[in-house]
């Protein structure tokens, strides 16, 4: 059975967003939210009836804020806004990202600060439920006044214009709405602005990337432990007293995970008295680096979940006083900054992973393991080029890590004179999460190969289970073969449900 998530503008979680983005949950409007939406709409209707001059309701937008629009043209004003602002370019967002944006915009409208009619909000939820996904280009937003262009493409589909993806096909929106027995929205005062003014593209992309990253941070402890054990590293550096003396939460958790993963390893015990005092930083400092990334992700989660449940409109409708107030909640700076932080932390994690892979394949660093983890070196190159691929990806991740949030280009004739570049920061984060996952998969391949070369010694039960999962997809590298499918097989292990049981043992 599909889960049903009730949106009220206040309680949406990262896990909820992930479920909806993957089509695993239905979404309905909470009754208490419906009451707030209706109350806010009544404020807009009164403002129009009283011929009040209100930005975006009875005036133009941006530089045209001082142009008052006649009442009979207020609907046209909103439609013109949506059409003119649907100026995105680049590749269309994938369906999960579109669904995340739709859900977040609906949740924002449900807070009751937007002034949208309830039927317009319900149409958005109906499209989400029936899998009618607006075609939203990924580029064109500077992250203030919100993600105008992408959200305008969403709104365009609701009014029966533009294209949508439905049942795997591209269709004109009007055709898809008719086929789904839905009526296109006829926008009234403020509704176009209510649909496009917000940070939902930035927040949706960053939330999905963070959700993936949180899983990879656990997996990184897992893969690193397997590498350390096959390199005959020491677990002394994970002594809880060391980490209690420097009590960063993520560091403490990562060290605890490593102790759990290395417990009861016969491979570890085989060299307990070898006399090696300490390992290289790539092994010894795993908790410090992984822990820093965990703490960055924890901070980012707090910021992103606040933004997922925030009102990001302008002007905002305050139903209790019947007033509309202009502000700047559409500025995506909070999310842009944490995206850049996570982008840098994923590059650092990938860099550390690549250094561990280097130690596995380099006979000058691996001890008694054969060069490039192949028994017949020379005739076979082994994992030589797989490591080169990791190095290339790490370099790309580093190059991708210049913070987007420090850039700003004034727009709208200087009215919007400082922007966040949040969507760019979110896309850079997505890219680095992808790169990190592949680099970690390459380390996993190398560590699994190294463990086979250590046989008949065995590692700990959870690490043996990880090895089993790898070998179910990628066989032992006994002779050179097409390498790319092996990388994809290891990536599938990291992303697959079969790994959940081992990850559940970790914090």
Tokens of 317: 């409708």
Q: Where are the alpha helices (DSSP H) in 329-421?
A: 333-361, 363-366, 384-399
Alpha-carbon distance 39 to 128, whole Å? 24
Q: Are strands 89-92 and 137-139 parallel, antiparallel or unpaired?
A: antiparallel
Alpha-carbon distance 86 to 28, whole Å? 27
CA–CA–CA angle 327, 330, 333 (5° rounding): 110
Closest CA to 342 of 434, 442, 409: 434
Hey, is 458 helix, strand or coil?
A: coil
Alpha-carbon distance 166 to 331, whole Å? 32
Alpha-carbon distance 7 to 13, whole Å? 10
- Taking CA atoms, 453 is separated from 139, 275, 373, 411, 448, in Å, by 48, 22, 8, 60, 9
User: Does residue 55 have an active-site annotation?
Assistant: yes
Tokens of 449: 């190969």
Contacts of 407 (CB under 8 A, 6+ apart): 421, 424
Tokens of 390: 């990791």
Alpha-carbon distance 292 to 287, whole Å? 8
Alpha-carbon distance 84 to 156, whole Å? 10
Tokens of 404: 């987007």
Closest CA to 98 of 153, 53, 42, 33: 153
- Taking CA atoms, 432 is separated from 65, 218, 279, 425, 446, in Å, by 40, 17, 28, 11, 21
Closest CA to 126 of 185, 196, 190, 42: 185
Alpha-carbon distance 313 to 329, whole Å? 6
Q: What are phi and psi of 27, to 5 degrees?
A: -130, 130
**DSSP H/E element including 318:** strand 316-318
Annotated catalytic residue: which of 7, 18, 55, 486?
55
User: Which residues form the catalytic set?
Assistant: 55
């Amino acid at each position: 059975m599909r889960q049903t998530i009730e949106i009220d503008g206040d309680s949406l979680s990262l896990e909820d967003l992930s479920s909806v983005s993957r089509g695993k949950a239905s979404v309905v409007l909470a009754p208490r939210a419906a009451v707030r939406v209706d109350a806010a709409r009544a404020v807009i209707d009164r403002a129009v009836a009283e011929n009040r001059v209100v930005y975006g309701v009875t005036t133009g937008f941006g530089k045209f804020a001082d142009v008052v629009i006649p009442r009979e043209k207020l609907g046209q004003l909103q439609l013109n806004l949506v059409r003119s602002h649907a100026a995105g370019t680049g590749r269309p967002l994938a369906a999960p990202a579109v669904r995340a944006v739709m859900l977040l915009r609906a949740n924002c409208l449900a807070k009751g600060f937007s002034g949208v009619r309830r039927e317009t909000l319900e149409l958005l939820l109906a499209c989400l439920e029936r899998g009618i996904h607006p075609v939203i280009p990924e580029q064109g937003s500077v992250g203030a006044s919100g993600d105008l262009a992408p959200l305008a493409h969403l709104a365009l589909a609701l009014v029966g214009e533009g294209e949508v993806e439905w049942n795997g096909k591209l269709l004109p929106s009007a055709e898809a709405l008719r086929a789904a027995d839905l009526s296109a929205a006829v926008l009234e005062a403020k509704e176009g602005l209510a649909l496009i003014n917000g940070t939902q593209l930035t927040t949706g992309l960053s939330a999905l990337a963070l959700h993936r990253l949180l899983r990879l941070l656990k997996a990184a402890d897992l893969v690193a432990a397997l590498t350390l054990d096959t390199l005959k590293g020491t677990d002394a550096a994970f002594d809880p007293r060391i980490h209690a003396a420097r009590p960063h939460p993520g560091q403490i958790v990562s060290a605890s995970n490593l102790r759990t993963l290395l417990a009861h390893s016969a491979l570890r015990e085989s060299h307990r008295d070898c006399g090696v005092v300490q390992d290289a930083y790539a092994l010894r400092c795993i908790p410090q680096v992984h822990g820093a990334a965990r703490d960055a992700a924890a901070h980012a989660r707090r910021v992103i979940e606040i933004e997922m449940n925030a009102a990001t409109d302008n002007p905002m409708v305050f139903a209790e006083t019947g007033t509309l107030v202009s502000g700047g909640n559409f500025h995506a700076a909070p999310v842009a900054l944490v995206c850049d932080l996570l982008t840098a932390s994923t590059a650092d994690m990938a860099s550390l992973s690549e250094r561990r892979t280097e130690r596995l394949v380099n006979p000058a660093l691996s001890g008694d393991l054969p060069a490039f983890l192949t028994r017949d070196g020379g005739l076979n190159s082994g994992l030589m080029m797989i490591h080169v691929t990791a190095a290339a990806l790490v370099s790309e991740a580093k190059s991708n890590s210049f913070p987007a949030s420090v850039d700003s280009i004034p727009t709208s004739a200087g009215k919007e004179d400082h922007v966040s570049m949040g969507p760019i920061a979110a896309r850079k984060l997505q890219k680095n999460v992808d790169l990190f996952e592949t680099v970690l998969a390459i380390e996993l391949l190398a560590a699994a190969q190294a463990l086979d070369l250590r046989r008949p010694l065995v590692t700990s039960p959870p690490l043996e289970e990880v090895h089993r999962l790898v070998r179910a997809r990628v066989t032992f590298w006994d002779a050179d073969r097409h390498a790319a499918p092996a990388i994809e097989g290891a990536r599938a292990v990291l992303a697959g449900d079969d790994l959940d049981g081992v990850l559940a043992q970790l914090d």
